[in-house]
Structure 1
């Protein structure tokens, strides 16, 4: 047999053996995609951290890409490309980090620097860091004033932080660079609409605040004119010595949200609290007109129907007495039910506490009444 025939036989034997033996570590139908993704050239996504021992090929590529001996422009360009890949994957934090590394190189390529700042602005924007994004857009324009993408990003940032005037300014500057830029035209229209709405809301708010202040002033003047004193003033202090009459003393809201108010006819309506110490019960009158009498309210509250807690049926208007407490002297003053609320509140010892005048209601000469006032000072109003 000649040498050519021997070679053919040897090759045939090798091929037959190759068919029966599997290559160790070869891809199979189940894991070939996974194995391919481990090869740097075919990777769809770079790992968060690179371990040189587990991925020596990738570590090698990275060292080549970011070799400190290369020109600064090439290094910055590599970080820009890396940031772009992270950006495509919507990993904006990693993108920001990569662009930052590129900016740190401080290369002399103003075009590249402008792109790095603009791209970082975009990543910051999608992270919701609008002011940081705006600062990057400004930095990009310092590198290249006519960088259109930086202008667009700056305008969008200004809209997000509700600085519509500045957004309009950015749009106008950008449209000088490119008068047909669709994004800038849309942003200008939006910023103009929002600016006009903000100005309208500001006018409404200012007018509402002015009306509110006017109501406050009218209310305070009404209280001063009537000589009504608030609990925050020191007891025994002469009105002439009081230089401040604060609205805070009457602005406290109770559980129902009621407050004293002045109606169109100039009459005050007070949220008044009736206390029944014997039964530890209360009644709340949300708007007690200052010129109405206590007896009128008592008649309306205690007529044919008794409250459920009045098991002895003692609470009916003619059988009740009204008092207020002077906390400073720990004294009590009896109020004639025929008197008006204003007359009671104008007493020199009466103080409005927490915005609501309060009065205690007792059954005349009841055992509880006698015991309650045994060691307390009681005065009758004349």
Structure 2
């Protein structure tokens, strides 16, 4: 948000020029084609022509010749480029203003006052373009040339606020107030920077407390999992074993490197294993029904509960709509988990607790979500699905 009008952001008496301009009258009136004629005046052109015809655009051709007249001194050329930049700035064409001010600075005219104006004006153009770092660099350069330059000090403080470097903004304000002790803008910026600094420090303290709490919860969760001997399948990058490493060794490595890298289910399912106040773990659990390519998800399966506790509810009075044959009755269901490395299935007793199953030496929790396959006892699909696989009981 602009704190000053565009005219007040450019230096060197443009306001006086505009006041004088108001008292002058055009000697030649416009015709009925006034819009076309108006567009030929350089200051009011909406777009610059690709080719400048001196007969069609005499004023613009004159300005161009003045700007690029190499016979003129570097100071005169820099002054002309500054004026061109100011014209662009007033039109809010900040990109072209930056180009003009930059060209003026490249003339290295040696006039420190003019160089400071070019730098502060370019800083203003960069500021409104959102180039805060470039704007700050110009303010710094201007302050080096003229340490007490008010606009440079104000712009530096503004940029630091936008860059959320509130302490640095206060330093700029303090430097400025030493030489401009009554300047309202510097006082206002310092108060704003101080307010933001205090808020940022407060937020940082809160975040630190929050992070410490989360770290404690994470450590307690990992300790609870490790104490139970539950193995998490870590991402390949975390398990530093070779591809030929024995699976049992990899499981052991997974426990040794136990971390929340193996509990990434929150990103996929929106749930993650948690530890309640009584010290019990609650896992997100996935049930897969390959016969119908369906699944069920339980977001918080208490480790002390048996599988039958959930399946009897899921397949109780009302069977799922995809079970057209009405065969997924609790008494018909069989539960398995897969040991993928050996293409082996382990059948799970429905009266077994989740904890006991997860503690099995062949069970690996993948992506933080234990998963189980549900089949119908005696069905043709079950026979086909188990064909070629080794099946063990727990």
Same fold? TM cut 0.5? yes
Tell me how far 1:368 sits from its aligned partner: 2.7
Residue aligned with 1:106, SS: coil
Deviations 1:257-294 (A, max 9, x none): 11111111111101111122333322111110001111
- Describe how 1:339-378 pairs up with structure 2 within 5 A: 339-378=352-391
* Larger radius of gyration between Structure 1 and Structure 2: 1
| Contact 1:303 1:317 (8 Å CA) reproduced | yes
Partner of 1:78: 80
What CA distance in whole angstroms lies between the structure 2 residues aligned with 1:363 and 1:121? Answer: 74
Residue aligned with 2:130, SS: coil
What CA distance in whole angstroms lies between the structure 1 residues aligned with 2:260 and 2:86? Answer: 59
What CA distance in whole angstroms lies between the structure 2 residues aligned with 1:310 and 1:60? Answer: 86
Deviations 1:107-149 (A, max 9, x none): 2221111111111111111111111011001111111111111
TM-score, normalised via structure 1 length: 0.85
Tell me how far 1:53 sits from its aligned partner: 5.4
What CA distance in whole angstroms lies between the structure 1 residues aligned with 2:350 and 2:74? Answer: 93
Deviates more, 1:238-247 or 1:225-234: 238-247
Residue aligned with 1:187, SS: helix
2:322 counterpart of 1:313: no
Q: Give the gaps of 5 or more residues in structure 2.
A: 1-27, 240-245
Partner of 1:331: 344
Tell me how far 1:33 sits from its aligned partner: 6.8
State the aligned residue count.
354
Partner of 1:88: 90
- Describe how 1:1-382 pairs up with structure 2 within 5 A: 29-31=31-33, 34-35=36-37, 38=40, 44-45=44-45, 48=48, 50-52=52-54, 54-56=56-58, 58-64=60-66, 66-232=68-234, 235-237=247-249, 243-253=256-266, 255-381=268-394
Cα distance, 1:271–1:47 mapped onto 2, change above 3 Å? closer
Q: Give the gaps of 5 or more residues in structure 1.
A: 1-25
Deviates more, 1:144-153 or 1:77-86: 77-86
Tell me how far 1:77 sits from its aligned partner: 1.8
| Contact 2:38 2:44 (8 Å CA) reproduced | no
Deviations 1:291-338 (A, max 9, x none): 111122222222222222223332222332221111111111111111
TM-score, normalised via structure 2 length: 0.83
Runs of at least 4 residues off by over 6 Å = none
Tell me how far 1:62 sits from its aligned partner: 3.8
Cα distance, 1:344–1:57 mapped onto 2, change above 3 Å? closer
What CA distance in whole angstroms lies between the structure 1 residues aligned with 2:160 and 2:138? Answer: 13
Residue aligned with 1:237, SS: helix
